Amino acid sequence: MPPILEARDVTRRYRVGSGDVDAVRGVSLTVDAGEFVAFMGPSGSGKSTLLHLLGGLDRPTSGDVVLDGELVSRLSDDAATRLRREKTGFVFQFFNLIPLLSVWENVALPFTIAGEDARHGEPADAVRAALASVDLDGKERHRPDQLSAGEQQRVALARALVRHPALLLADEPTGNLDFSTGTEILDRLWSSCHEGGQTVVLVTHDAKAAAYADRVYVMHDGSLRDEIRLGRREDHGAGQLIARLADLGL
Ligand SMILES: Nc1ncnc2c1ncn2[C@@H]1O[C@H](COP(=O)(O)OP(=O)(O)O)[C@@H](O)[C@H]1O
Ligand SMILES: [Mg+2]
């Protein structure tokens, strides 16, 4: 399989006042279609910045990002947005649901943005299936503030999944959840990858979450410091990863 995602010597410099912050410093990597890859690293090491670059939410200062064969970093804004909507689904730490919309409307948003009416036909079937896949049947008419944190993240996940994007990107999706609700989210990401064939890129500081991945990149100060290959393991045991991190002095 060709890689679905490639970063070629990618940097991202933020201008802050009179100084610069080099949030990502020359990252090169590939992710194969169907892989589950995690990024770990301390706060401020550039994980979120890199994820946004990989998913086409932000543009590199230099270097290139190739998403499913397209040089997303060189596309016009409109073309990059179109590619991102077609190929990716994002899940964030703080859910990023729209408070005034119902659960159904939030999950239907990718269709609405694409100009499709999600109240009928195939889009409606897709919304229903996405909600069922995260066990939210019966909650369609609730508003986000009428749901628990775990349920809100499941809505966000359903929204990311609803158009079956090839690539799912998740930034600390369990960061605001307790262990068991976090595990539900990770299990759902896992089944999207292992059964659904989608590619998953997960940012987390939690080794138990990263242990779902086939491969873990460790970031430090904007660079990839290490790469740990775990292989696919249905038990998601974190022991091997924790031992490897300890060997690296982390
Ligand atoms: N929008 C921004 N403007 C200026 N600096 C930023 C911005 N976003 C992130 N940074 C800085 O870039 C570095 C990496 O941040 P980030 O990618 O959020 O790291 P992480 O997700 O690993 O915590 C940090 O030093 C952070 O302060
Ligand atoms: Mg972050």
Angle at 131 between CA 111 and CA 35, to 5 degrees: 80
The pLDDT value recorded for residue 63 is 98
Q: Which domains does the chain have, with CATH numbers?
A: 3-92+167-247 (3.40.50.300)
Collapsing DSSP states into helix, strand and coil, what is residue 200? strand
The pLDDT value recorded for residue 18 is 87
- How many angstroms separate the alpha carbon of residue 110 from the centre of ligand 2? 24
Q: What is the pTM of this model?
A: 0.96
Give the mean pLDDT per block of 10 residues along the chain (250 residues).
Answer: 92 94 98 98 96 96 97 93 95 94 97 92 96 95 96 96 97 94 95 97 96 98 97 95 93
Ligand 1 pocket, mutate which of 13, 15, 21 (most atoms under 8 A from CB): 21
The pLDDT value recorded for residue 1 is 65
**Residue whose token pair is 């964030």:** 92
Which residues, 6 or more positions from 185, have their beta carbon under 8 angstroms from its beta carbon? 91, 150, 153, 154, 157, 173, 174, 177
Backbone angles phi, psi at 190, to 5 degrees: -60, -45
**Residue whose token pair is 């200062």:** 61
Residue 129 in contact with residue 50, Cβ under 8 Å? no
The pLDDT value recorded for residue 96 is 94
Nearest of 92, 96, 56, 88 to residue 74 by alpha carbon: 56
Which residues, 6 or more positions from 220, have their beta carbon under 8 angstroms from its beta carbon? 41, 42, 45
Adjacent-strand bridge partners of 200 = 36, 168
Task: Give the separation between CA 7 and CA 27, rounded to whole angstroms.
Answer: 7
Neighbours of 201 (CB within 10 A): 25
Q: For ligand 1, atom 8, name the residue with the nearest CA.
A: 49
Burial 73-108 (b: 16+ CB within 10 A, else e): bebeeeebeebbeebbbbbbbebebeeebbbbbbbb
Nearest of 170, 241, 160 to residue 200 by alpha carbon: 170
| Cβ of 46 less than 6 Å from ligand 1 | yes
- How many angstroms separate the alpha carbon of residue 136 from the centre of ligand 1? 34
- Protein residues placing their CB within 5 Å of the ion ligand 2: 48
Q: For ligand 1, atom 12, name the residue with the nearest CA.
A: 23
The pLDDT value recorded for residue 250 is 85
Residue type, 238: A
Residue 213 in contact with residue 14, Cβ under 8 Å? no
